[in-house]
Amino acid sequence: MWMAHEPMAFFDGRLMPLKDATINIATHAFNYGTGVFEGLRAYWNQAQQELFIVQPGPHYERLLRSSRVLHIEVPYRVDELVEWTIELLKANHFEEDVYIRPLAYKADPAVKVGLSGIQSAFAMYAIPMGDYVPTGGIRVQVSSWRRIADNMIPSRAKVTGAYVNAALSSEQAKMDGYDEAILLTDEGQVAEASSSNLFMVRRGVLVTPPVTDDILEGITRDLVITLARDHDIVVEERSIDRTELYSADELFLCGTGVQLAAVVEVDRRPVAMGEAGPITRRLQEAYMALVRGDAPRYRRYVVPVYHR
């Protein structure tokens, strides 16, 4: 069990035990991958006795944008989704770091390849989660699997079926002895990791691929750019060649799940000295202070659960 008490979920418009929040095996989304999702985190601050949700508004705005791509109707506004998230976390009595998974999907039991005329549904659950990957230093592989192009499956939408691409590349990396995979676009430019965005430091400049290079328009990516500029770090959004990864001064991945994870090796080549660099460490420290509600300057990015 994830928790000592009964885990709760949001399903069919209400809170209920997670074990009862089930779907029919004939559900369209289960058969065809016609769903979209988000990943949010909430961080427990022991000193403040508070749980802080990180940027729920931007996450739900992206969920609604993703839903429009697949003609999925979500019957809630952003502010309503935020409120239901707070109620879900309260119902689970979380006093630890948490991962939140909302899903919008095609819910009819239908054997039909298409999107129109199929009813939509929304559900959400949450589980305790610490570090998804070690943030101090991971080894990555440039995958032989290519990142899906936006004209194949929309890369800027978090489509459930599209994550087979992430699963294949991630599994290949792990079977080859690495922690994570970096995917290239069909044109051979660096896109992102299997489920996180990528940043590179070269000559003091923080570089990240543009949103037109088949990347997810990451919420954490935007936040890192803001933090970097606030720390007087020059940020450049441009295409990255594969070999630049081998000559980078620093590399790190960022995302809701991975947080900010330093990359210390690419294809068995150490990144600089083979350890997290100074810019990476500075941004990691700033990010963790923000998400735990310990940075007054950035309190607008987090929403408290218990003391509002």
Class (C level, CATH) for 8-128: alpha beta
Active-site residue flag, 158: yes
- Write out the chain's pLDDT in tens, 308 residues: 445 579 999 999 999 999 999 999 999 999 999 999 999 999 999 999 999 999 999 999 999 999 999 999 999 999 999 999 999 999 999 999 999 999 999 999 999 999 999 999 999 999 999 888 888 999 999 999 999 999 999 999 999 999 999 999 999 999 999 999 999 999 999 999 999 999 999 999 999 999 999 999 999 999 999 999 999 999 999 999 999 999 999 999 999 999 999 999 999 999 999 999 999 999 999 999 999 999 999 999 999 999 87
Helical spans, DSSP H, in 3-109 = 28-32, 56-69, 78-91
Helical spans, DSSP H, in 253-294 = 278-291
| From 90, 112, 158, 174, the catalytic residue | 158
Q: Map tokens 């900010």 to a residue.
A: 260
Task: Assess contact for 27 and 21: CB atoms under 8 A.
Answer: no
CATH number of the domain at 138-291, please? 3.20.10.10
Please state the domain extents for the chain: 8-128, 138-291
Q: Summarize the chain as % helix, strand, coil (round to 5).
A: 30, 30, 40
